[in-house]
Structure 1
Amino acid sequence: MGDEEKNPTVADVSVGDESDTISERQRSTNIPWSMKILSVVLVSLVGFGSHWSSGVTGAMKSTLKKQLHINNAQYATLDASENFIKTALILVSGVVTDRIGGARAMLWGNAVYSIGAILIAAATQVRSFKFMIVGSVIQAFGDVATQCAQYKVFSSWFAPSNGFASTLGFELGLGKIGSFVGQASANVIAKRTGNFSWVYWCAVFINLFTNAVTAVFYVFTNYCERRYAGTNDPATGERLTEKNKKFEFTKMLRLPWPFWLVALFSLFQTSVASVFSSNATELAQKRFNISAVTAGWYSAMSQYLGFFLVPILGVFIDILGQRNTIMLVCGLGMLLSMCLAAFGPSVGGTAASFGIYAFAASLGPTVIIDSIRTSMWYQEVFGSGYAIKIAINNSMTIIIGIVAGVIQDHDNDSYNRVIILYVVLAAGSVVVGMMMVGISFVSPTMDRLQWTRKQRIIRGEKINALKEDFEQGENRERHRIFSLSCFVAMIILLLGAWATYFWGVATGNND
């Protein structure tokens, strides 16, 4: 890729003494696939620890409520504390990641994440709810840095329809295995050791491993920067960068309208998936009348059994495209799953709901993240764009999570009423998915998310023409106003999430 590039303009890096021996002309623009694959493996291993930890808290909901003497609203506040920090800092993190690079952001982010994991484990040891919130907040600081960083790294190595979705699929598939192991083993570890805090100490050990891998990846990245001059998008010729020479605030504020449609779909789909996942173990306990250990296995299977589909989906998207269609199918699957859980509260209906959810949830993350990247004109601000997507998701999750906790507390701790809320959210994702598919028939700007790899390469000049029209065409002012309006709406949603969070703290009897 990018063989035609003879004068690379990779972001400045410090190369020490080797800068004298390796000139710009000696730095190859042909990055071996072995190096790309190694980078994907290392980044995927880095994310394994956070995925493992994410599967633990949801599986331990019943145990945490019992051992820490908290109710559903307080548990929701605990869950929302981490999301609150992410919404407060994620936009800054995205901009900083674009500027300093994903590898450096991952290095310090994982270190802070591990400190938070240690504090959470200590909090469970002394059975302190307040202490656990503090640990969750600190852990969130680290998670904020790593969430944008790892996908920013992928975007600098792979272009849309040229390996980006495949690498996402591999990382997310491995992450699902980590989350599955974390959720399925959490109650087993708690029961076998006789102390549920050992679940969180195991998470600490996993996170220390990811810190070691992060250090290796950081060294690997510096090695590659000294020897390779980067790569280009084979369709458009755009230079793919791991870090920028300056902050690109203007480009961050001028994201195209297809980006915001994808973000709107993610708002509905990801929020219902997040809230449902955090409650799945307890729902299985109540509906199937089984122990926490068995329920943990059932819920873990429902959420992560489709891990093998994720890499396949990534390859499919890279080769055949059809991103809008896949999002619509994902939304329809989520809606069917939530309807079965809501209107078929029997053992059979809940089991069917979990099975369909396993399939639908496997489609979401890969196609959403890849569509975010494909819809953007500027790869150098992908970290900022992905940060906006996370801010939207976490804001909605905070609001829905706390509201759902209150509804459940007022319904004798059952899931009969709160599931209706999940149905509404899933229906929202279907509506947005239908809009995207419909618009793609009349708008090439939206239709390019459907293009196959071959079509995208052939129509590279068309993409550049659409980009030029966005920047300089007669509708450029309309595009600018729309982009700014969407950004302002995102800020309002974020402030609404903060208000909901503080309301939850004030009414959750946390003192």
Structure 2
Amino acid sequence: MAQRVSIESPSGMEAQLDEKPGHAVATVTTPSVSDESEDGRSTHIPLKMKLLSVVMVSAIGFGAHWSSGVTGAMKSTVKKQLHINNAQFSVLEASEDFMVTALMLVSGLVTDRLGGASAMLWGNAIFSVGSIFIAAATTVRSYKFMIFGTVVKALGDIATQVAQYKIFSSWFAPSNGFASTLALELGIGKIGSFVGKATANVIAKKTGDFMWVYWTAVFMNLFTNVMTLIFWFFTRWCRKTYAGTTDPATGEKLTENNKKFELGKMLRLPWTFWSIIAFTTFQTSAAIVYSQNATEMAEQRFDIDAVTAGWYAAMSQYLGFFLVPLLGIFIDLLGNRISVMVVCAAGMLLSMCLAAWGPTIGGTAASFGVFAFASSLGPTVIIDSIRTSMWYQEVFGTGYAIKITINNCMNIIIRIITGVIQDRDKNSYDNVVIVYVVQTAGAVVVAGSLFALSFWSTDLRILQFTKKQRMANGELINDRREKFETGKAGERNRKLSLGLFIAMIFMILGAWCAYFWGVATGNNS
């Protein structure tokens, strides 16, 4: 007969365990507490305030996503107007990736220390200055000046990429709204990217000069600066009014900023975190590079003009925006994060195979359709899995910065390789897409391995938890965190975590070598 045993967790939460032979299930209940903290601030944050923050952050991101969709859509036009080849265009895009790999880790640490709202304020300001430089470069038709503007813009983008999701992590816990809120932002972002990619060539054609596309992006970025300033004042008011929130499952206090730089915890990220990084290394890079080349590939495969190709490419990449919020709700309620990764990777692989071995109009159209569905699954499940796999929310900004750094390292390497292949292949994508097949096959291998291991590994099984299971096993999660840090297992885990962090450093150095090789051989003059 089962026995129910009550214990007191370190967080002050009462946990009850059903003890059976070889089986224990923990249920966690939060004790009744006052709605006010010792300093008089309320510990209860109204849902409407949380939703208001999500709406404002999403509005801020809309402009950045609009700008991100522009350059890829204008690839053929930029090459013609600036008289550059594919290798030089790859260097142009890789310049932003290079800056990210150089500074993103520092940005993650700073964001964890200072908070997301402050990072977004100065980050968006720099982002706008870079956009102005890029627009000016297109006006005077200067390739070098455009690279300079891209580097400046990247400095701002580095700050804002981490900041917005750091804010979400301080308001919502895993399986308690985090996936839903970031999915809402990503869905709105997809709309912004769709509009940017779809209208870029239309603006260029109607105005008679492609520079107006980039000046439109400048005005869009000025709007984001106004929204960012409003949000900054909003967060200052919230800090004075509310005392913060906790993870209802584990009792962990969620924070937007820290009292010190958490370098030690950055070097002790768990192996489950790095397993998600392995997946995003293949999947996200393939999605990003393929997306940025989709318009030009549509022009070639469908034999259509840039405007029509822009619409086709935009629809293939962003019409899945309505799936993203639904996926966030699914993950919050039903979990199964690794299972979603398997579906995402399999869909991406199918899409790339269709593009590689079905280079007809029908094959390319089918590839675009499958890609629209599969790529919509990736960002939400990856970011939420990163948050769920980490023992400490206070270093989530650093963890997400590592994810972006790795993605950009891979982007640099793949862009340089594919740019050279395309130039040698008379501007065709027939051989380039084979590289994408290899990438997505790697994502399938990683996701499939994690799914198989989840039946034996408790730490991976946590990623599969539904909301009900996570709430019932909060004490189990706390116990796994303690075991990760103490005893012989703790020493072994620290060495493994440090080794994986060092491997990341070597990957960064490899990406830098690829970038400078591209600069040297791409004739970026």
Q: TM-score range by the shorter chain?
A: over 0.9
Whether the 8 Å contact between 1:40 and 1:154 is mirrored in structure 2 is yes
Match for 2:352 among 338, 356, 366? 338
Find the residue that maps to 1:234 and give its secondary structure: coil
**Does 1:354 pair with 2:375?**
no
Separation of aligned partners in 2, 1:294 and 1:510: 30
The SS at the match of 2:488 is: coil
Q: How does 1:68-217 map to 2 (within 5 A)?
A: 68-217=82-231
Q: Secondary structure of 1:500's partner?
A: helix
Gaps of 5+ in 2: 1-28
Please list the CA deviations of residues 159-213 of structure 1 after superposition, one character each: whole Å capped at 9, or x if unmatched.
0000000001100000000000000000000000001000001100110000000
Cα distance per residue 1:86-115 (max 9 Å; x no partner)? 110000000000000000000000000000
Deviations 1:44-66 (A, max 9, x none): 11111110000000000000000
Contact 1:74–1:509, Cα closer than 8 Å, also in 2: yes
- How far the C-alpha of 1:308 sits from its partner, in A, is 0.3
**Is the counterpart of residue 63 in structure 1 residue 80 in structure 2?**
no
Q: Show the counterpart of 1:434.
A: 448
In structure 2, the CA distance between the partners of 1:355 and 1:25, relative to structure 1 (3 Å rule), is: same
AA aligned opposite 1:294: T
1:255 to 269, 280, 286: 269
Q: Which residue identity is paired with 1:266?
A: T
Match of 2:289 among 275, 287, 295: 275
Question: Which residue of structure 2 lines up, in the alignment, with residue 17 of structure 1?
Answer: none
Distance in 2 between residues matched to 1:271 and 1:460, nearest whole Å: 34
Matches within 5 A, 1:292-311: 292-311=306-325
Tell me, yes or no, if structure 1 residue 451 matches structure 2 residue 465: yes
Question: How many angstroms does 1:478 deviate by?
Answer: 1.0
Q: Would you say the 8 A contact 1:271–1:394 is kept in 2?
A: yes
* Residue identity opposite 1:64 in structure 2: V
Once the two structures are TM-superposed, the CA of residue 26 in structure 1 deviates from its matched residue by 1.5
CA contact 1:469–1:476 (8 Å) conserved in 2 = yes
TM-score, scaled to structure 2: 0.93
The 3 A distance-change label for structure 1 pair 308 and 407 is: same
TM-aligned CA deviation for residue 484 of structure 1: 0.6
Distance 1:195 1:329 in 2: 42
Indicate which of 318, 323, 346 corresponds to 2:337: 323
| Deviations 1:55-91 (CA, angstroms, capped at 9, x unpaired) | 0000000000000000000000000000100110000
CA–CA distance in 1 between the matches of 2:33 and 2:116?
23
The offset of 1:477, in angstroms, is 1.1
Separation in 1, partners of 2:30, 2:234? 21
1:3 and 1:30 in contact (8 A); partners too: no
2:43 corresponds to: 29
> What per-residue deviation string (whole Å, max 9, x for no partner) do you get for residues 218-257 of structure 1?
0000000001000000000000000000010000110001
Question: Which of 25, 34, 38 pairs up with 2:52?
Answer: 38
**1:448 is paired with a residue of what secondary structure?**
helix
Deviation, structure 1 residue 7: 10
Q: Distance in 1 between matches of 2:356 and 2:33?
A: 56
Q: What one-letter code is carried by the residue in structure 1 that aligns with 2:68?
A: S
1:226 to 1:478, Cα distance in 2 relative to 1, 3 A: same
Deviations 1:253-287 (A, max 9, x none): 10001100000000000110111011000000000
The 1-side partners of 2:275 and 2:38 are apart by 41
| Deviations 1:326-356 (CA, angstroms, capped at 9, x unpaired) | 0011000000000000000000000000000
Residues 1:374 and 2:388 aligned together: yes
Partner of 2:236, secondary structure, is helix
Contact 1:7 1:25 in 2 (8 A): no
Residue equivalent to 1:492: 506
Change beyond 3 A, Cα 1:197–1:41: same
Residues 117 and 5 of structure 1: is their aligned pair in 2 closer, same or farther, counting only changes over 3 Å?
A: farther
Cα deviation per residue 1:108-155 (whole Å; 9 max; x = unaligned)?
000000000010000001110000000000000000000000000000
Q: Secondary structure at the match of 2:261?
A: coil
1:161 touches 1:317 (CA, 8 Å); kept in 2?
yes
**Given that residues 389 and 463 in structure 2 are in contact (C-alpha distance below 8 angstroms), is that contact kept between their aligned partners in structure 1?**
yes
SS in 1 for 2:465: coil
- Which residue identity is paired with 1:87? T
Aligned to 2:418: 404
Q: State the match for 1:415 in structure 2.
A: 429
The one-letter code of the counterpart of 1:455 is Q
Let me know the Cα RMSD of the aligned residues: 1.2
Q: Distance in 1 between the 2:143 and 2:34 partners? A: 58
Structure 1 residue aligned with 2:248, among 219, 231, 234? 234
Going from structure 1 to structure 2, the CA distance change for 1:279 and 1:2 (only over 3 Å counts) comes to farther
Instruction: Provide closer, same or farther for how the CA distance between residues 348 and 458 of structure 1 changes in structure 2, counting only shifts above 3 A.
Output: same
What is the percent sequence identity of the aligned residues?
Answer: 68
Question: What does residue 15 of structure 2 align with?
Answer: none
Amino acid corresponding to residue 357 of structure 2 in structure 1: F
Q: Give the counterpart of 1:49 among 48, 52, 63.
A: 63
Q: Answer yes or no: is the 8 Å Cα contact 1:103–1:221 preserved in 2.
A: yes
The Cα of 1:473 is off from its aligned counterpart by 3.7
SS in 2 for 1:247: coil
Pairing 1:383–2:367 present: no
Q: Does 1:508 align with 2:499?
A: no
1:510 deviation in Å? 1.1
Partner of 2:304: 290
| Contact map agreement 1:5 1:29 (CA 8 A) in 2 | no
- 8 A contact 2:35–2:43 mirrored in 1: no
